[in-house]
Amino acid sequence: LRDLEKRSELQSLRHEELLLELEATKKRQRRDELRQLSGASATSATAADTSASASASAMTSFSANRLSGLQQDDSESEYQIPWTDSETADEPVVDD
């Protein structure tokens, strides 16, 4: 079951990574179109795309490390909702 959960989360991360790559490609195409219209050089677009790819890769690597157990954080499972059943999330908790 644990392996299935990890596999599912990895698939979700891969899906998110593909969406980021698609978004970067669309932005690159749009930027190239605008540069062609304005006559500007495309060298700065290449540098910006490299930076965006590095950021997406770093985020995916971080998430994969968490899944593989390199960064275990038990605080997520111990999180307490700061309101009672009679209150809503919109009402602040007041300690007397």
How far apart CA 30 and CA 78 sit, in angstroms, is: 45
- The string of pLDDT tens digits covering residues 34-89 is 999 988 654 555 555 666 666 666 656 555 555 555 444 444 445 455 555 554 55
pLDDT band at 1 (very low <50, low <70, confident <90, very high): confident
- Is the four-CA dihedral 45, 46, 48, 52 of positive or negative sign? positive
Name, in order, each residue with C-beta under 8 angstroms of 34's C-beta and a sequence gap of 6 or more.
none
Q: What residues does each domain of the chain span?
A: 2-63
